[in-house]
Amino acid sequence: MSHDEILKKYVANIEEACGEEKDIIIMLKHEGRDEALKKILGKVKVVRSLANIAYDADFEGKQMRIYRTGKILMKKLKDKREAEDILKKLLS
Amino acid sequence: MQRCWPRRWKDLKGKIMFDPYEVRKDFPILEREINGYKLIYFDNAATSQKPKQVINAMKEFYEKYNANIHRGIHTLSQEASELYEDAHEEVAKFIGADGMEEVIFVKNTTEAINLVAYSWALNKLNEKDEVLTTLLEHHSNIVPWEILSRLRGFKVKYADINADGTLNYESLEQLMTEKTRIICVSHVSNVTGVINDVGRIAKLAHEQDAIIIVDGAQSVPHLPIDVKKFDVDFLTFSGHKMLGPTGIGVLYGKKELLEEMEPFLGGGSMIKSVRCQSPNGNCRIEWNDLPWKFEAGTPNICGGIGLAEAVKYLRRIGIENVHRHERQLTGYTLKRLEELEKVEFYGPRDASVKCGIIPFNVNGMNPHDVALMFDSFGIMIRSGYHCAEPLHRKLGIKGSARASFYIYNTKEEIDRFIEVLKRIEDVA
């Protein structure tokens, strides 16, 4: 499966959040969400678990908060493209 | 759910006028569970939920009356036209307009403001003029004026706000000059919920022979509005924030102003006749009567009918009761928020000067994170700039989380919201 196909399979939406800091919000598709979360959590370094609803994690120096609901907040990225590149690595 | 508070609003004869727990039964979506929790919908400033009466009216239209309106002579077209015209009349009554000639259906508030900008301001303003607005505004009441100022050369000025997020009337008065042709102001801020005194601002505008455009997107769904009492020249609002469907909004305008304005969009329905004199000459075009002069092409007929049903619903429960209920919820929320150490909230602390919109931040967390946390518990709130970046910059914050209430929200939901907020504080 190509990287683009991987994104198409697991990712519903990637949004640059409005606000001063360049945070990116990723919404995983409902179908395949559990599979995607398993892949992602298998590759990131989990720093802490937050009340069993989210995980603070690190991947190649990038910080993110991964929600069990299938949403991910990636912090201080350059743009959406950077988020896509990280996701391709996490989901392949 | 326990029915202890808020109390039901009764009329003078003791008849129950409004009971939020009964109201909830009309909103099928409130039965949903999200992420394993019963849905709590606190994103009403973005859009409201729809009662089954509105959903059914729209379904009924498509099942029984669907046809294009006006000019059709068959029965269905006539019935659809009557329903669509009645919808205009219903909205006119709701805001105290003289009749449907003063009520133009558009797509939303943004389109309504753009209509005034392009039909009125484009033809009347030049580099000698000024448009006065405020730092409280939604981008929809800033960007059209900035775009037009680049075309026509006029200046856009912004009245300041006070530290508590209320409008600074002194600043507004100081910026008002003989060059001011329009004051564009929101009735209620979509960030702080502050209610502006539009009657006072209208008086100020008219003393200088300026006109006033009021963005009523956050007020018409929640407060009693009378355009004649406030003496506003234009009022804009959206159907979807007041129990109606998306894709339908309203521009109210004084008839004499609408009559002198050029149309915004050209096409079918907005003309009476188009006569081409010669192969090389321009056509002679006669505009249609109000409000159709401003409703080019096939309009959102079903949306208009849905909006009218929403208006009937609000009239039945009483818009004064809506306001009282939300004020009670807001006051209670503001009081409970004071229990929290890491939560900072913005805008006035007095619920009587605002609508049910509460912006806040949790120290150490960005607002999107806060919204995602709430989402995990089935509570829908909004985060970011809320299309009001200048206001956030003025308040010195990089965005905010925002809870906003409507008729179906309850004290128990606020208690749950505070309980979750305490858990969020713990992980911040």
**DSSP output for A30-75:** STTHHHHHHHHHHHSEEEEEETTTEEEEEETTEEEEEETTSEEEE-
Question: What pLDDT, on the 0 to 100 scale, is given for residue B13?
Answer: 60
Q: How far apart are CA B158 and CA B172, in angstroms?
A: 8
**Distance (Å) from the alpha carbon of B427 to chain A's nearest alpha carbon:** 6
Query: How many C-beta neighbours within 10 Å does residue B230 have?
Result: 21
Residue B416 C-alpha from the chain's centroid: 27
Closest Cα to residue B45, out of B296, B403, B375?
A: B403
Q: Which residue of B has its CA nearest to A50?
A: B427
- B 81-120 → A contacts, CB under 8 A: none
- What ipTM does this complex have? 0.88
CA quadruple B422, B426, B427, B428: dihedral positive or negative?
positive
Please report, as a single letter, which amino acid is at residue B237. Answer: F
Sort out which chain B residues have CB atoms less than 8 A from A25's CB and list them: 368, 372
Q: Verify whether residue B283 is a known catalytic residue.
A: no
Name every residue whose Cβ is closer than 8 Å to that of residue B286 and which is 6 or more positions away in sequence: B271, B272, B273
The conformation of residue B194, written as its DSSP 8-state character, comes to: B
Q: Is B151 near chain A, with CB under 8 Å?
A: no
Average pLDDT for runs of 10 along chain B of length 428:
51 69 97 97 98 98 96 91 97 98 98 97 96 95 96 97 95 97 98 97 97 98 97 98 98 98 94 84 91 97 98 96 95 96 94 96 92 97 92 90 97 97 92
Nearest residue on chain A to B390, alpha-carbon basis: A19
CA torsion angle B343 B346 B347 B348 (round to 10): 30
| A 41-80 → B contacts, CB under 8 A | 50-51, 53-54, 65, 67-69, 71, 73, 75
B63: Cβ–Cβ under 8 A, 6 or more apart, which residues? Answer: none
Encoded tokens for B126: 């030049």
In angstroms, what CA-CA distances link B236 with B248, B357, B393, B420?
A: 11, 19, 25, 36
Q: How far is A20 from chain B (nearest CA, A)?
A: 5
* Main-chain phi, psi angles of B414, to 5 degrees: -70, -40
- Contact yes or no for A69 and B423 at CB 8 A: no
Classified as helix, coil or strand, B409 is coil
Separation between Cα atoms, residue B276 and residue B283, nearest integer Å: 4
Closest Cβ–Cβ partner in A19, A50, A75 for B384: A19
CB contact under 8 A, B398 and A19: yes
Question: Residue B71 region, left (φ>0) first, then alpha (ψ -120 to 50), else beta?
Answer: left
CA dihedral B213, B215, B220, B223 (to 10 degrees): -90
Q: What is the pLDDT of residues A25-78, one digit of tens each?
A: 999 999 999 999 999 999 999 999 997 899 999 999 999 999 999 999 998 888
Helix %, strand %, coil % for chain B, to 5? 45, 20, 35
State which H helix or E strand residue B123 sits in. Answer: helix B122-124
Structure-block tokens of residue B42? 């606190």
H/E segment holding residue B301: helix B301-317
| Contact residues for B118 (Cβ-Cβ < 8 A; gap 6+) | B148, B264
Is B372's CB within 8 Å of A68's CB? no
> How many Cβ atoms from other residues are within 10 Å of residue B146's Cβ?
12
> Cβ B384–A18 below 8 Å, yes or no?
yes
Bridge-partner residues for B283, per DSSP?
A: B276
Helix (H) or strand (E) holding B418: helix B411-427
Q: Position of tokens 């990637």?
A: A14
Chain B residues lying within 8 Å of A17, measured CB to CB: 368, 383-384, 399
Preceding peptide of B291 cis, ω within 30° = yes
Q: What is the DSSP letter of B161?
A: B
Say which of B367, B368, B376 has its CB closest to residue A54: B376
| Contact yes or no for A19 and B423 at CB 8 A | no
Residues of B numbered 365-394 whose beta carbons fall under 8 angstroms of chain A's beta carbons: which are they? 366-369, 372-373, 375-377, 383-385, 389
Rounded CA gap, B207 and B114, in Å?
25
Distance of CA B168 to the CA centre of its chain: 22
**Residue (of B363, B362, B349, B364) closest to B402 by Cα position:** B362
Max distance between CA atoms of chain B, in angstroms, equals 78
B224 in contact with A, Cβ within 8 Å:
no
> In whole angstroms, what is the distance from residue B1 CA to residue B39 CA?
14
Q: How far is the C-alpha of B98 from the C-alpha of B308, rounded, in Å?
A: 17
Q: Which pLDDT does position A20 carry in this prediction?
A: 60
Q: Which two tokens stand for residue B29?
A: 């979506």
**The one-letter amino acid at B43:** D
